[in-house]
Chain A
Amino acid sequence: MTREELISLVATLVPDMKPGANKQYPEVIVTAAQLHELAIALKKTPETTLDYLFCETAVDRKDGFHMIYYVSSSVLHHLLMIRVVIPDKLNPVIPTVSDVWRAAEFYEREIFDLFGIKFENHPNLKRIFLDDDWVGYPLRKDYKDTFTIER
C-alpha cells in the first residue's frame, strides 16, 4: 500500500488521528487511549498485516514524551510510523502493545528502565539494563547524578 492509502486507512480506523510531518515514512499521530485498538486493527486487517514491530522507542521533548512505533509487514513490506505524545512528564503512563507484537515486551522494558514510562498491563515491567535498585531514569534530559560529567 502506498503512503496515502496507509494514512487514509488509519483515518478510517481512528477518526481523530493527525498525519505526521515525517518525509521518509508515512506517519500518524494518535493518543494513548486509541493506541491499543489501532494496533490490533492494523495487525488483523488483511490489506495491511502490519505484524512486524521493528522499532519502539521514546524521545524526551519539551512538550512531553514522544513514543515512536515503527511497524512493517513481513509479506507486503510497507512501513508505518505511529507516534503517541504523553504530555505528563512526572508520571507518564501508556498502555502496552506487547500482547499484539511480542517484541514490544522487551523494547518497553528498556524504555521503562531508561525513561521511566510505565506501561499498563505489561507482564513483566522490570529494569533490564540497570541494577534493580537504581534511582532515576538516565535518558531523561533532566537526569543528574554524581557520575555524569557535563560538557
Chain B
Amino acid sequence: MEDTVVDIDLKEKEEYIINMGPQHPSTHGVLRFETCLQGETVKYLIPHCGYIHRGIEKMSESLTYPQLIHLTDRMDYLSAHINNEAVSLCVEKAMGVEVSDRVKYIRTILAELTRIASHQLWWSAFGMDLGALTTFFYGLRDREKILDIFEESTGARLLQSFITPGGLMYDVHPNFQKRVTEFVKYFRKKLPEYDQLLTGNIIFRERTQGIGYMSLEDAIEFGVTGPSGRGSGFHCDIRKIEPYSAYPLVKFDEITFDVGDTYHRYLVRMKEMWQSLSIIEQLIDGIPQGPIMLELKAIKAPKGEYYQRVETARGELGVFIVSDGAPSPARIHYRTPNFSNLFIINKISAGHKIADLVAISGSLDLVIPDIDR
C-alpha cells in the first residue's frame, strides 16, 4: 500500500520519464510502461493497460453460450483451447451434465499441446528479447508441428473454438493419434537443444539470475499464479488443487522452486514442457471410443452462480457465470491470470536497469489481450 504509485513526479536530480510502448518490439502487445529512470536505473514504473479493451464481458451478455466461446479464444490467444475448456466446463457444471470419457481425454491432450506450444513461443520471444536471435527460429520451427496437428483436426492454427459446452465441435482427424505420438518422440529429442542453447549459457545466467526477485508473500498477495508464481514457491497449480477433465487419471509433478528470480521462472516453464510431454504420453494411447457431443435440447444454465477454475499456460483462469435461466448469461466475468501477473512488475523491477526490465517482463510472460479483455 505504501508503494502504490499514483502518478510519476520527478523529485531527484537526473530523473526522467521514458515510455516503453504501446508500440515497442519487446512488450509483446499493446502495453505502456511509464518508467521513471535515474540514469540507467528504474526507480518505479506505472503500467497502463486498456489499449485493447474490447468489452468481451459486456458483449457476452447478448450472445448465447456456444457463441461466446468464440470470444474466449481471443483473450489469451496462446492458450485458446484452455480458455474454451474453462467456459465449457462451467456451463456443463451449471447444467449438471458430464461429458463422455473420449471428450475428456481429447480435451486434456489438446490442452497440454497448447501449453507446450505456448511455452515454445514464450521461449523464442524471451531469447530474442535478450539478444539471442537464433532461439526465435528454433522454437517456432518446433511449434509449427503442433500447429499442423491443430489445423488438421480443428481447422485453425491459432484460434480454434473447438471445445464447446457439451463436448467438441467435431471429432478429431483419424491421424490425430499417430501425429501426436510422432510429435512427442520428435520433441523429446529437440528439447535438450533448447537447454544447450540458452539455459547453460553464462551470459544468459548473468542476465537472469538474481534479477526480479519476487517473494512468496508478494506472489500470494498480488495473486500471481502460473509458472511466475510457482517460481517463487506458490503451490497454485489448479490441475492438482481442483482437477478437471482427465487430470485425475494422470501422474505428473507440479514444478516449484523457492528462489523467485527470473532464472527460476524460466526453469519452471522449461521443466513444465517435459511434464506436459509425459501427460500426453500417458493419455494418447488409450483414448476411449464414445460420443463427441451430448444430446442437449438447449444450452441454458439454470438460475444461479457458477465458478470454474482451470490452469492455462500462464496461470489460473476463472470463469464466473451468473445465470437467470436464459440462453445468454446475465453476467460473465473472467478472472484472467495476466491481469494479476502484470501489476507486480513495479515491485520486482525497482532498482534494476532498463535491460533487466525487458528480461523481467519476458519472464512474467504477459499476453496483453488477456489483461484487457
Please report A residues at the B interface, Cβ cutoff 8 Å. 21-25, 51-55, 57, 59-61, 68, 70, 74, 77, 81, 98-99, 101-103, 105-106, 110, 114, 123-124, 126, 128-130, 138-139, 151
B interface bracket (residues with beta carbon within 8 Å of A): 35 or more
Q: Say how far A61's CB is from chain B's closest CB, in angstroms.
A: 8
Assess the A102–B6 pair: CB atoms within 8 A. Answer: no
User: Which of B122-130, B195-203, B219-227 has 4 or more CB atoms under 8 Å from chain A?
Assistant: B219-227
The 9 closest A-B pairs by CB, nearest first: A129-B50, A103-B223, A102-B221, A129-B53, A123-B4, A55-B335, A57-B333, A59-B331, A124-B6
For the residues of A in contact with B, the DSSP-based class is loop
Assess the B220–A130 pair: CB atoms within 8 A. Answer: no
User: Which of B101-109, B148-156, B301-309 has 4 or more CB atoms under 8 Å from chain A?
Assistant: B301-309
For the residues of B in contact with A, the DSSP-based class is mixed
- In the complex, how many residue pairs between chain A and chain B have their CB atoms under 8 Å apart? 80
Assess the A60–B331 pair: CB atoms within 8 A. Answer: yes
Q: Given the known inter-chain contacts A123-B1, A151-B62, please indicate yes or no for A101 contacting B221, CB distance below 8 A.
A: yes
Assess the B306–A102 pair: CB atoms within 8 A. Answer: no
Assess the B53–A25 pair: CB atoms within 8 A. Answer: no
Assess the B320–A54 pair: CB atoms within 8 A. Answer: no
Question: Within the assembled complex, what's the spacing in Å between the Cα atoms of A74 and B343?
Answer: 19
Q: Say how far A80's CB is from chain B's closest CB, in angstroms.
A: 12
Assess the A106–B343 pair: CB atoms within 8 A. Answer: yes
**In chain B between 328 and 346, which residues have their CB closer than 8 angstroms to a CB of chain A?**
330-331, 333, 335, 339-340, 343
Q: Say how far B306's CB is from chain A's closest CB, in angstroms.
A: 6
Question: Within the assembled complex, what's the spacing in Å between the Cα atoms of A105 and B307?
Answer: 22
Question: Within the assembled complex, what's the spacing in Å between the Cα atoms of A129 and B57?
Answer: 13
Nearest to A25 among chain B residues (CB) is B307
Assess the A54–B58 pair: CB atoms within 8 A. Answer: no
Assess the B220–A51 pair: CB atoms within 8 A. Answer: yes
Assess the B220–A24 pair: CB atoms within 8 A. Answer: no
Q: Say how far A6's CB is from chain B's closest CB, in angstroms.
A: 16
Assess the A74–B234 pair: CB atoms within 8 A. Answer: yes
Q: Flag B313-353 by CB within 8 Å of A: 1 or 0 each.
A: 00010101010000000110101000110010000000000
Assess the A59–B322 pair: CB atoms within 8 A. Answer: yes
